[in-house]
Structures are given as structure tokens and as C-alpha cells.
Amino acid sequence: MNTFGQRFRVSTFGESHGEAIGCIIDGVPAGLKIDKVFISQEVDRRKGGKNRYSTPRKESDEVEILSGVFGGISTGAPIGMIVKNNNTKSADYENIKSIFRPGHADWTYYHKYGVRDYRGGGRSSARESVLRVASGAIAKMLLKEVGIICEGGIYSIGTIVSEEVDFEYSKQSEIFSLDKNKEEAQKTLIDKARMAHNSIGGVALIKARGLDEKIPIGLGEPLYHKLDGAIASAMMGLNGVKAVEIGDGLRSAEVFGSENNDCIDSSGFLSNHSGGILGGLSNGSDIFVKVYFKPTPSIFLAQKTLDTNGNEVVCELRGRHDPCIAVRGSVVCESLLALVLADMLLLNLGSKIEHLHTIYK
Amino acid sequence: MNTFGQRFRVSTFGESHGEAIGCIIDGVPAGLKIDKVFISQEVDRRKGGKNRYSTPRKESDEVEILSGVFGGISTGAPIGMIVKNNNTKSADYENIKSIFRPGHADWTYYHKYGVRDYRGGGRSSARESVLRVASGAIAKMLLKEVGIICEGGIYSIGTIVSEEVDFEYSKQSEIFSLDKNKEEAQKTLIDKARMAHNSIGGVALIKARGLDEKIPIGLGEPLYHKLDGAIASAMMGLNGVKAVEIGDGLRSAEVFGSENNDCIDSSGFLSNHSGGILGGLSNGSDIFVKVYFKPTPSIFLAQKTLDTNGNEVVCELRGRHDPCIAVRGSVVCESLLALVLADMLLLNLGSKIEHLHTIYK
Amino acid sequence: MNTFGQRFRVSTFGESHGEAIGCIIDGVPAGLKIDKVFISQEVDRRKGGKNRYSTPRKESDEVEILSGVFGGISTGAPIGMIVKNNNTKSADYENIKSIFRPGHADWTYYHKYGVRDYRGGGRSSARESVLRVASGAIAKMLLKEVGIICEGGIYSIGTIVSEEVDFEYSKQSEIFSLDKNKEEAQKTLIDKARMAHNSIGGVALIKARGLDEKIPIGLGEPLYHKLDGAIASAMMGLNGVKAVEIGDGLRSAEVFGSENNDCIDSSGFLSNHSGGILGGLSNGSDIFVKVYFKPTPSIFLAQKTLDTNGNEVVCELRGRHDPCIAVRGSVVCESLLALVLADMLLLNLGSKIEHLHTIYK
Amino acid sequence: MNTFGQRFRVSTFGESHGEAIGCIIDGVPAGLKIDKVFISQEVDRRKGGKNRYSTPRKESDEVEILSGVFGGISTGAPIGMIVKNNNTKSADYENIKSIFRPGHADWTYYHKYGVRDYRGGGRSSARESVLRVASGAIAKMLLKEVGIICEGGIYSIGTIVSEEVDFEYSKQSEIFSLDKNKEEAQKTLIDKARMAHNSIGGVALIKARGLDEKIPIGLGEPLYHKLDGAIASAMMGLNGVKAVEIGDGLRSAEVFGSENNDCIDSSGFLSNHSGGILGGLSNGSDIFVKVYFKPTPSIFLAQKTLDTNGNEVVCELRGRHDPCIAVRGSVVCESLLALVLADMLLLNLGSKIEHLHTIYK
């Protein structure tokens, strides 16, 4: 239940305010060069405390690799990693110890388990997503070996929607905006929410490219571990995500078949309404996924709620929070797409008998 | 890869034009009364050939239970079921034997596996979804024991969107429309597509209720088998689905936190923007899921494509197809939600130590 | 729970006296030639009714392939198979409907599930092992592609132990005896047991060879899906098996390290005490497994037992049974070893990064 | 592949000479009191350096719990644990860097992965079994809630076999001997092996009791996750184990059915030849498992082997090793039985529909 993937498997542990969080990555093929600097860079992209569009909580987020790598190379043994939690202010949470914050998992965890680590959201905190990024970095290294690249950014903040999409530009944007012409308005909206002690929703757009060069077309495992199903599960399983869309998605549900089918000629597909996935398998076109984030549930306005004794109380939060979780969430989504594709890449081995003949010749 | 669920597990086999399709349902608790008539009724709801809004292919779709039931009661042994394919017109597919139909899985299956059962889409045919409905019927029986009900219908066809939502009305509608005032316009649009040899997209809305009576709040397994993640995977894994949305979904990504959080008082939640899921766990409110279907890729218009030799050809389809897959798809989505919830219900056993004390006293 | 294997996955259903038993084989690479005659031959080897050393119950055991094979070739889709039960005498079991037969699963199934299909042992019948042999036949076809061969036979019956081991001879022996000089004594002992309305235990010896030619050394997945662990699980999971031994096994526990280690020189291993497995991985030597079967629990002598109301009763069985389950069991063990190795072969793909480079070049 | 169990799941990482080893225990029900002192005691029982019958390598083996426990109580979140490696002498292994030690996993890991952490056996070291004991301690806490107790000891060393079996006595024995009258001879044999720079095999006997009080009869999941199959897999998956036997095991294969069946009267089973398992399910009697260990492969005598360049060399080992791995191995086996039973206990929830009614009333 705390494990993600089938052949490239990531199991995680850890709470927001525990001593450390960590994970085990099982299934990394032996012989992969593990670039620790790249892992740090990826984790840094997700990190808060860098500007006013994210949480002021500044973590060092140092990833320690405890196993599975020898002489800089993966050995085939599981890779164990931990990240210490060193900027925790548990006192911030004393006042919410016995109340259910609206929009949070407090209510559901309490009822499911009867016990709750209330400090910083405990297990349900987005803190755990550091591990998705760290393991996603290793997935990216694996994908790079066959030429697949994942990238992403912010498509919209509130109702400020990108008109152009530039994945290079997003890399330098403080909010990972994909449209340099919309970035300012998007920032302004986040700031407005922040100053009103409120928060705002947003949409990330994630892309994978390079699926038609070395990779055979057809990543994904029909019928119950299809590529789009696995992507949807990964994205929807991330905190705050309320909708996932592949390719044209919403628009596909509004149009005629003649407008939605991607025809083919000898130059390849003539359009990409499908977002790179047909029948649950990659078709060689770029993969496009949109991920819809709700606004951060932690807002600093009075809200009606109950306490654990069933009394009506007013919830007034303190603490440090992102005004818009979509921003840092977009980095995690990119990692998740890499994790899904790495899993599918390994699962695809053995799909044809000729793979066995090629390897075991 | 062809198995769905963890504790309530469904594994399926079969192709559109093979002798039979079938499945194994593993994990059904012993002692459940198995109502064969109800299974038939459910399968009948999905069946084509009943009106001009679905495929003219009329299957008998008789479900044979081969094991796991003794004296009308589940025994704890896996339930094996088969459904014979008896109205196949494989000859219809001779002309597409070596071409890739746009919008279909032909291209991706061919490249992944190097071999393809081209008759009626083979394994990638929506035919297999009969089994999801048949096993979903058993999941519904299990859920009924604790008072959970799943229902669904058509929310929109093309751009004709429901304004009201009436799950009772949808049961009698030929297209399962949720809004009796929009039904006619929706039907007209489907008909228009059909007569133009085209097809049209649509959206299903699925609901589960009764999660707060006998059931403890908290169905779902954090962090990687969350309820919303599992629902997204199930729905997106269905043929033709391109987006999945929980609760307010898209709108959540546009608003402020103060507009999206569901406050609580002693009467319960004051709103249900979350669609019944918080932190990946059921919160007791009704669950709402929207599922976006693309238009049927099989259209009877000339389309550019390639054949298996890489030559450019014109694809001109014959055969029998649904003008709008969302219609019958909505029935399957309802079954899928039941399957996910049945799985979560069983997985939830043992979440607290007191469950062990209650059972093993 | 009714699924075996991870990449080459077999899920089964069916009871002894139900209409049919069946299975789904998921993960067979596309492009494998499926030889139906070979499947029949394998199933025939296991079949009863051929001589007085096995049950007089004579099944036709016709395997019907319902999916996953097109034009005689596997398509990558799951292979569904059923075998009808057509020589069932359920009336034989009326008298044991409410009593617990000693040595059988009646007692445990009844207490676990509260309900029991008493006819012929229901789900717990060895009848299900037909499916292990049928799917094992497909595993053997896969293994043959890389030169691995599984074979087996009877090592001992009661205390009559083989001195020589001849896997060719066992193929023609009515009791699959590995030692032609002991065969007669072994047969006599079975006959003695049968005529005394009793039964007798025995040991099967199973071998796999050809693991050092095309196959890289190292089949098995450390640390929790090791080759020896998987073999032990497969064998011990078969009805009536009470011990499993790899290589020298028992003797290894009695000797000094200097007597047990297999030294190596440029010609290869100088001995094979390990039975072909080191550190849970195949080492290139032949794999040897001994499987210890208890005597058939169904004996026709009066035995003390209880009925489902808790009353003491005398159990007096009728029906048709093997006097020695080890005999037909040895065929199933051979199939199980093939299933384990096929799974490991597929799991091994991707163990090294160079596999990806070879396939995705 | 590095994960054990289905509902009570343990995933481990770490090498003998890495910075730390660790594990994640997923599926521990919330509300269980976690007794850290007990974990230490269990780990201490397995620890070397205490007497001359085990390795002189003395580890502090301090278990740090990083997550999943709050206020001394399990929260339902995964429990992360690490154990630092602080007495590693990697220099001892420089000389075997490029040679394959006979009887070790060097040969197979090298061929499977192409790369090898040669220090102390790397991933294949028995060091990892600390984690099995630490997680086994938590499994024991869970089992204790329903009255199940696991215990074990040494049944034989070489050919010195116990005649009596006293599980209380073994707790105070330096070699966990089950027979106080044989202990001295067993110790002498270990010493003889040690002084001859050799090693010796042995057999552990493990028992579980208390399965018929609170627990319903029937732990185990037929047909492919049976209790005996799971035990066999767990035990055979432990380093150095070459055979596993349930109940009478070997003897069962030699006798008549009338001698092997366990009859029943109103006082219960009249014998326990089955070792507490019938049809793969616990029958209420005590469970008995014998585990056969080979002698430690590390011996300090000259042995023929190859180096990684294929040259013939003489292997002459240094380092610190157990003269008999069965001794400390017996503690691990006890933990493994606890892990299997904890998993089965949780899996059994939901086997009957009445469980749902009891929990969700």
C-alpha cells in the first residue's frame, strides 16, 4: 500500500515531523551510473523556502544513499535512501492536535486508524513527496539511457491559463510557468491569495518525449496496468490532485470522432489529440498529461469544524504553507511520470519472444 | 497485468472474436449469496443492440459461473466465469487485417507484440468490459451487505451538458441520461453523429452513497493505493477514457481555498467539493467521479493511415459500432467503482488492532 | 491467493466436481508457438485410470484454449484455458458431506470458510493440478526456447529408495521410477498398500538442465523471491507435500563445510552439492529438488473423526483414489519447476542495464 | 523482490558493509503498542560476538525506528527502521575482491548483475537477517494479541540429533539447543569444526502454538499462498537453508496412510503428524517446522576456485565467521515463522462475510 510500481518499485516511509523519511527503490538494473548531484538538483527544484510563491519552510533535504550503489554504480540490490527532517516546528501544530482541519486528511486518518500523528499532517503531509522526486531522479537516469525525457511546468493558476507552452522557459521561472506572457499574472494571483491568507488552485502540464527513437512503441501493460491508467493513478494519488487528463482529454469528450482521431501518414501521426497513448500503450508521440490541483487546504481564515470530541470549533491555522501547491506539485508530477515510464520500460522487456532470443543468445 | 484489485481481485482473459471471454474473481468472502439474476440484469444494462444509440451487435452475453459458488453461496474459492462470443462477424475485419485504424490500439499492439488478433480489436476490444460488469455485480452484492450503493449515468454528450442530475431517471433512459430535460438533445446529437457516419464524445458521472452508515470512514490505502488513485486508475484504464475528475475537480483548480474547503459542523460536512475523498480516503460524503470519454474511434469516413508494410492507405471501416461509447461505458464505470470499493472494503479490515480483537475474540 | 508467479502468472479456478476447472496464464511473451499436442501429452502423463498404481477415475482432461493464441502463436494477451470435469461421481461423497475426513482439508476449510463444497474435496482436490501441468507445458515451451529442460520421476516409494537415477527410464515407467532395479519393489509396495485399503508415501526427484548455455547464470530474485525459495513454495504448496530439499539438502546439515562446498576450476564446478543454486540464484549446474509426499489421506479403513455437529463418528470412505499420490504428483512437480523457471527467466530481463541497451538499441 | 509478505509486508535494503541496513514494515494495524525493548532483546538473541559458537564480529545492532510509531503506538503508517553497520572490516575482503568464494553467492551475483559489492558478501550477507528479526519482533507483538507464540531452537548439529525437545531450555542455551542432554556434544562438534578452520551443518526446529484459542482454524490462503508454502518459501529463502520439513515430513514419505493420518475425537486431534497444517491451512494443532542449514561456506582451508578473469586460483579466506550458521539462523527462522503467521492472520480477515458484518455493524 506504500509501494509504487511493479518492476521499478518505490516503497516509502516517514512523517512530516519524524526524525527522517526514506524509501527503498527496488528493481533498478545493475550497472546504472547513479548521479548524486542530479538527485540533489531534482530535490532542490521541489524545495520550499526559495521565494514567496512557496512555503517558507526551508528544508536542507539532503538525500543519503545507504545501499544499492557501489563505486557510483547500481548493483541490482535495493537502493535505500533517507532524508532527515531538520526544520520541523511541531509546536505550530499543538493547537490543531485535536481538531480536524477542513480540506485535510485529519478527519479521515483519525477515523480509519483511531490514532493520528497530528504534527505537520504526519504521514499525509506532502513532505513525503521529496522521496518521489529523489526516486524519480533515478528513474530519469534510467530513461535517459534510452532517450526518454520528462519535463513539466505550470499550465494555469486559478483562471490564468497558458496560451503558449514552453518547457524550456518553465525551468527558469520561479513558479515553473510554461507561458512567459502569463507568468506575471499567475504570480500576482498567487500573491493575492497569500496576502489574503488564502490559497489558489492550479494545473500542471507534464510531457514525456523521445518515445519513438530507441524505445519500441507500446509501453504499458494491457488491460489493467495500462500506461494511462498507471499515470492517472500516480497523479491522482498525489496530495491535492482532483483531476487528471491525457492529451486532449476534456475536449475529446465534446467533439466528433473525425475531429479526435489522429490520422497517420508516412511522416507519422498527423496530430496528437491522444496525448501519445492509444489502447493504453505509448504510440511514439509525445505524452501529455494535465494534473489539476486544488488550492492548499491550509488557509489562515476562520473555518467551522469539529474537534475529536465532536464539538463544533473554529479552526484557525498557523504554520508555514504553500499558497499554491500546484507550483511545487508540478515538479513531483514530472517525477511521477518518470517513475511510471521507468516501470513500463522494464515491464516491456519480455513482451516478445524475440527479446529472450536477443538477451539469451 | 490482466488483474485488477488486491483483495477483491479480478483477472480476465479473452478477445472480441475468440470462442469465449472469462474471468476469475478471487477474494470474495465465503458465505455471500450470489444472485445470478442480478448478474444478468447488470450485464444486460451494458448490452448493445437494444436501440439506435448503441452498437447493433447483439450478444446473448450469458454468464456461466463455473466455480466458487455452491448451493447459491460463495465458498471462498475463486469464482470462474465465462461468456461465450456468439455473434461475431470476423469477416467484417478482413479488410482491416493489415491496416492501422486511426484512434485504435492496432498500431500500438502491433508494435508491442509483433502479432495481432485483428478480429474486432482482439484483446483491446471493449467486449472485455462485459467481465467488468459481471464481476462488478458481485462487488455490488458485497457492498450491499454494508449499505454501499453505486450508480451512474450520462452527464454530457458532446457539448450538451446536464443541468440537473437524477440518478433514478437515468435508470430508465435509453442513453442513461441524468437530466430528463437534456436527454432529447443528447439523443439527437448521438443520432446526428451516427447518421454522419461519425461518432461523439461524452461524460459519465458516477456516484457511491451509503459510506457513512455501517462503514467506518476511511476506505482507501495511503499512500500508493489511495481511493482516488485507485478510482482514477480503474476509470482511465477503460477504453476511450481520456480524463477523470473527483468531486469539483476542474473547478477546484480555479478557485481559492476558502471556496474549496468543506467545512464541518455537528450535522456533518457543509459541502462536498471534495467528492467524498480526503487524503485519499473516503470521508463519509457521497463519492462523485466524472469520466470523460472520447468519441468512438471507429467512424465510417475515409481516414489516412498506414498498413503493416508502411504504405499510406485510406482506412474505410465497416462493421457495427457504438456512435457514442460513453453511453454503454457509463455502466462499466459504475461497475468499476463498485470493484474499487469492494477491494478497499476488504483491505480496510485490519487497519486497526481492534478489528483483530473483534474477530478473534 | 490463487495466483502463482509474478511475470509468468497462472491464476486458477475450479473444484473437483464443478462443471469445469480453468486458468489464466498472463505474461506469456508474444510470438511463442503454442503446441497443443504437447499440452495434451503433458496432461496425459498426469492422468489417472491408466494402471493400478493410480486412481481408477479416468478423466478425458481435454484442454480448451479460449484466448491469447492466434494462428497457433501467443499474442501477448492472457491465455485462458478450461478443462471440463466429465467423470464425476458426486454421489460417492454424500456420506462424507458432514464428516471431516482425517488427513484431508475438510476440517480446515470448514472452519476457515464456514461453508464447504464436499464433493470430491472441492477446491482442495488434487484435480486442480491438471492446470499446473497444462500451464507448465507452456512454461516448458518457453524454457525450450533458451535450452532449459525439466524432468523428473519417483525417487522412492515408502522405504524403497532409488540407488541409480535415470531420467530417461522414468519416462517409460508406469510409476515414473528413476531406478529400473527398484521399480518392481516400489510397484509391489504400492500394490500392497492398495490391497490393504491403505496408501503409501513417496519422494519425487526433479531436475532442470541446460541452465548454463544460453541463459546467463543467476536466475532468481534476491532476497525474497530467490530461486530456491520460489521452488520450495511451489512444491510445498502442492497437495500432500511435507518436505522439500534442494541438492544435498538433508546431508548438508550433517557434514563439514569442506565436504559441502562446491569448488570450481576452469572446467566448471567440481561437484554439485548445492543442487545448482547458490545465494538463491542458479549457478549453471543442474538443479535438483526432492519433494516428499505423504501417503494419500483417503484410505478405506475405519478412522475416528468428528462430524460437523461435533459428534464422534467413524469415517469409512468409498470412492476412487491413488494409492500413492507421489506417483502422479511427480509429474506436477516437474511442471511446477518449469513454471518457477519461466517466471525467473522473465524476471531476469532487466537485471542489468545492458539488457535495455540490447533490446532498445 | 526485496519484499516479504502481502498484508504484513517487510521490504529491506542494505549490504553487510554499507553505512546502514534498514526496512519498511507496511500493514501493521494501527493501535499496536510497539515495545522497543522487546525488539532489542530479539535482535540481541541473534547477535554474534557473545560466545565461541558464533562469529566474533560484534555489532551493536541498535534498531532506530524512524516512522509509523507515535506515542509508543503504531499509527497505521509504514514503520521505517534502520540499523547502522559499525563494526565492518572491509579490508578483510580486499583479497577476495576478484575471486569467487566456493559455496558463496559471489559467482551467481557476479554473473547476474555484472557488478558486485564484495565487502562482506554485500547484499547476500546474512547481515540482512537482523531486519527479519527486528520486523519479526513486531510480528510477534501482533500475534501475541491473539495468543500465538513462536519459539525455536537447535534440533541437531551435524549428526548429533536431539532426542528430547525442550523449547524452554533452548532459551538459556548458548547454542539454543533443544535437548540439554545433547547440548554438550553439539557444542563440542561446533568447536571441533571451528578449530579445524572448518564449519558444520545443523537443523533448527521451530514451533508455533496457541492457534486454537482465539484464532479461528484456517490460517493460510489456498491454493497459492498456503501456510506451508509460505513457510517453505520464507525458510528456504534464508541463507544456507537447503531443506524444509513440516511436521513428520520425511517420515511421512515412508509410511502408510493409516500411520500418517491424524484422527480426531471430541478431545481434538489424536496425533500431530501433519505438523499443524492440513490442506495448506492451520488446523489448530501446534505448527512444527524443521529447517536444514548447510555448514557455513566460509572456511579457512585452501579451496580451488576461479577469479573474475577466469583464472584458477586458491581461495584462502580470512575474516570473522560463524562456525555453524544454524545456531544464529534458528533465531531468524523463529522470526520468519512469526512474519508468515502475522501475514496470514491479516489475510484471513474477510475470509467470511460474517467478518464484515462483525466489523461494519
pLDDT at B321: 85
Query: How far is CA A315 from each of CA A101, A198, A302, rounded to the nearest angstrom?
Result: 7, 14, 6
Chains that touch A (3 or more CB pairs under 8 A): B, C, D
Per-residue pLDDT of chain D (361 residues; tens, 9 = 90+): 899 999 999 999 999 999 999 999 999 999 999 999 999 999 999 998 888 898 887 878 999 999 999 999 999 999 999 999 987 777 777 888 899 999 999 999 999 999 988 888 899 999 999 999 999 999 999 999 999 999 999 999 999 999 999 999 999 999 999 999 999 999 999 999 999 999 999 999 999 999 987 788 999 999 999 999 999 999 999 999 999 999 999 999 999 999 999 999 999 999 999 999 999 999 999 999 999 999 999 999 999 999 999 999 999 987 778 999 999 999 999 999 999 999 999 999 999 999 999 999 8
D-chain residues within 8 Å CB-CB of A68? 13, 15, 123
**CA D267 to chain centroid:** 33
pLDDT at C119: 87
Query: How far is CA B321 from each of CA A278, B120, D106, rounded to the nearest angstrom?
Result: 18, 10, 59
* Cross-chain residue pair B256–A203, CB shorter than 8 Å: no
Q: Contact C74/B113 with Cβ under 8 angstroms?
A: no
Q: What is the ipTM of this complex?
A: 0.97
Q: Per-residue pLDDT averaged across C169-184, rounded?
A: 97
Instruction: Show the beta-strand stretches assigned E in chain A.
Output: 3-4, 9-13, 20-26, 63-65, 69-70, 73-74, 79-84, 149-157, 160-161, 202-209, 241-246, 264-265, 268-269, 277-278, 281-282, 287-293, 303-306, 312-315
Please give the order of strands across the beta sheet that includes B160-161.
A160-161, A149-157, A202-209, A287-293, A241-246, B241-246, B287-293, B202-209, B149-157, B160-161
* Cross-chain residue pair C349–A349, CB shorter than 8 Å: yes
H helix runs in B145-226, sequence order:
167-172, 183-195
Residues in B whose CB is inside 8 Å of some CB of D read: 7, 27, 29-32, 74, 76-77, 142, 145-146, 214-216, 222, 345-346, 349-361
Q: Contact C267/D306 with Cβ under 8 angstroms?
A: no
* Cross-chain residue pair C22–B117, CB shorter than 8 Å: no
Distance from the A21 Cα atom to the nearest Cα atom in chain D, whole angstroms: 7
* Cross-chain residue pair B360–D7, CB shorter than 8 Å: no
Longest dimension (CA), chain A: 71
Residue type, position D36, single letter:
K
Q: Contact A247/A259 with Cβ under 8 angstroms?
A: no
Residue A46 assigned ligand-binding role = yes
Residue in C74, C349, C351 nearest the CB of A355: C349
Residue A279 assigned ligand-binding role = yes
CA distance A128 to A136: 13
pLDDT at C317: 87
Q: Which neighbouring-strand residues pair with B292?
A: B203, B243
C-chain residues within 8 Å CB-CB of D237? 223-224, 226, 228-229, 232, 280
Cell of C67: 484466448
CA distance C67 to C74: 9
Q: Per-residue pLDDT averaged across C196-222, rounded?
A: 94
Residue C204's nearest CA partner among C249, C252, C170, C168 is C170
* Cross-chain residue pair A279–B108, CB shorter than 8 Å: yes
B158-167 confidence digits (pLDDT tens): 999 999 999 9
Q: Which neighbouring-strand residues pair with A312?
A: A306
Cell of B120: 474486432
Residue A350 assigned ligand-binding role = no
Average the pLDDT over each of B89-103, C10-24, C339-353 and give the range with the smallest value. B89-103
Per-residue pLDDT of chain A (361 residues; tens, 9 = 90+): 899 999 999 999 999 999 999 999 999 999 999 999 999 999 999 998 888 898 887 878 999 999 999 999 999 999 999 999 987 777 777 888 899 999 999 999 999 999 988 888 899 999 999 999 999 999 999 999 999 999 999 999 999 999 999 999 999 999 999 999 999 999 999 999 999 999 999 999 999 999 987 788 999 999 999 999 999 999 999 999 999 999 999 999 999 999 999 999 999 999 999 999 999 999 999 999 999 999 999 999 999 999 999 999 999 987 778 999 999 999 999 999 999 999 999 999 999 999 999 999 8
Q: Per-residue pLDDT averaged across C6-11, rounded?
A: 98
Residue C262 — very low, low, confident or very high, per pLDDT cuts 50/70/90? very high
Residue B125 assigned ligand-binding role = yes
B-chain residues within 8 Å CB-CB of A256? 158, 193, 196, 198-201, 295, 299
Chain A to chain C, count of Cβ pairs less than 8 Å apart? 84
C-chain residues within 8 Å CB-CB of B34? none
* Cross-chain residue pair A351–C216, CB shorter than 8 Å: no
Residue B59 — very low, low, confident or very high, per pLDDT cuts 50/70/90? confident
* Cross-chain residue pair D66–A22, CB shorter than 8 Å: yes
pTM of the complete model: 0.98
Cβ-based neighbours of A130, under 8 Å, separated by 6 or more: A21, A43, A46, A59, A61, A83
* Cross-chain residue pair B108–A198, CB shorter than 8 Å: no
pLDDT at D314: 95
pLDDT at B319: 75
pLDDT at A275: 98
Q: Contact B224/B191 with Cβ under 8 angstroms?
A: no
Chain B to chain C, count of Cβ pairs less than 8 Å apart? 156
Residue type, position C205, single letter:
L
Residue B11 assigned ligand-binding role = no
Residue in B112, B259, B282 nearest the CB of A351: B112
Helices H, strands E: what count in chain D? Answer: 9, 18
Residue B124 — very low, low, confident or very high, per pLDDT cuts 50/70/90? very high
Residue in B30, B31, B349 nearest the CB of D349: B349
How many CB atoms neighbour CB C169 within 10 A? 17
Q: Contact B232/B277 with Cβ under 8 angstroms?
A: no
* Cross-chain residue pair C254–D305, CB shorter than 8 Å: no
A260-297 confidence digits (pLDDT tens): 999 999 999 999 999 999 999 999 999 999 999 999 99
pLDDT at A95: 80
Report the chain C residue with the minimal C-alpha distance to residue A354.
C31
pLDDT at C91: 75
Q: Per-residue pLDDT averaged across B64-78, rounded?
A: 97
Write down the CATH number for the domain with range A3-359.
3.60.150.10
B-chain residues within 8 Å CB-CB of D359? 349, 355, 358-359
CA distance D233 to A183: 57
Residue C57 — very low, low, confident or very high, per pLDDT cuts 50/70/90? confident
Please say if the pLDDT value at position C210 is more than 90: yes
pLDDT at C94: 80
* Cross-chain residue pair D233–C230, CB shorter than 8 Å: yes
